[in-house]
Amino acid sequence: MAKTSPLVLDAMIVTGNTKSAVKAAGGGSSDLWTVPPDQIHFDPRDNVRPLDPERVRHLAQLMKANGYDRKKPLGCFVRKVGGEDRIFVYEGQHRYHAALLAIKEGMPADKMIDRLPIVIDEAKSVNRVNLIYAGINNNDGEKLTPLQLAEKVIELQELGEPNGVICARLHVTDQTIRDVLLLANAPAALHKLVRDKVVSSTLAIDEIRTHGGEKALERLQNAAQQAKLGGKAKVTKKVLAKAAGGKITDTQAKQLLQALQSVLHDPVFGKLSPGTIAAVHAALTPHADLLDAVSTRRHKHPIHTPNANGVFVKCETIKSPVSKRTGLPPVEIHLAHPDETTWIYSTSTRFGNAMSSGLPSMGKFIETYKTRMQAIRAAVGELTTFINRADITKTKEAPIARAFLDRLWTMPDPDWTEDMATEAIK
């Protein structure tokens, strides 16, 4: 029979007197309070992470079985609401909601939660910036995703926090800040791929850094389709490389078709070589039912008249899609058509807390354009330069405006004439 060693058990714990131990250690009274759960309030804006219902359900089941762990108090602060002092939770939102759910569904009598332990921050330390920092750092055990971190970094920047301070208080590098902001400024559809865990944040950031937001989205969406066809839920570098291996996507095909259609409708199309003309017709004829996705027909544009101050109050305005944050379009292009051969423009912008606006007006130094699209492209160029400014490109409105301007830039110019083309060549 094999010889065994006896199992050495730890000695039994003998509990002592708490007050005596704290006094002997030189301790003092704590700032721990206990408050009925229904007297604690919640505002999702005070918490850096969105509430996860599945985690709330999991914690509620644990509380039903074990009660609330008093060693884990909630982080709270006091806010004035309608003249009343109310307690709001900003750390431990999942435990707070789990306690409410467990109470609602019924708990064993010996596990009943009558009060929740809370620690209340000093009023002088409570502000939005400190709440964000505390929320991020206190979630370190379950790290924020890069996208969640980016949203908070942007909010801190909008509150006036310098990048150096953000890096120091979160113990992250400048590169981390740059990476998460790349992701934050990407198209919303790419954010959804990341949130749905179809694409990892790391892969998304690499793609954005290499190809830009719009192109990265196109590549990743195509790769996601390829992965799904192969029975896989996630996009890997291998799947991405295979999906991007020279195949033209639907989006690219549409862009090529529209570009070829613009060539067909160009006023100097007939002066191209016979072989080129034949090739364009051969390529477009089988797809005649798909043509005119973008109008290339000339329109009769109304003439605009300025007011007594020379301002075109009545003019055409092209608006970008609205921002969810403000409910307003980040950019607008105002077009005035004083006569048949003249167009002028002005722009309005709304980015973060900055705003500028102005209607077109004639003046000595105002540049004029011969077609509507020429004026639009000039406005697009001006706005693109503005958006590329360091303080603007990081705003939540920048991706919306950039995508809108990219679409305008690629539109054909149906008012471009053969005479204009001849003059331009000279």
pLDDT at residue 23, as a whole number: 61
pLDDT at residue 7, as a whole number: 44
pLDDT at residue 5, as a whole number: 43
CA 112 to chain CA centroid, nearest Å: 42
Collect the ranges in the chain with pLDDT lower than 70: 1-31, 138-143, 242-252, 265-268, 270, 288-299, 364-365, 417-426
> 355-411 pLDDT, tens per residue?
888 899 887 668 889 889 889 989 998 998 888 888 888 888 999 999 899 888 877
Euclidean distance between CA atoms 346 and 179, whole angstroms: 34
pLDDT at residue 376, as a whole number: 93
Euclidean distance between CA atoms 331 and 347, whole angstroms: 7
The residue extents of the domains of the chain are 30-144, 186-243, 250-287, 316-425
Q: Name the CATH code of domain 30-144 (choices 3.90.1530.10, 3.30.540.10, 3.40.50.2300, 3.90.1150.180).
A: 3.90.1530.10
pLDDT at residue 119, as a whole number: 85
pLDDT at residue 350, as a whole number: 92
pLDDT at residue 329, as a whole number: 92
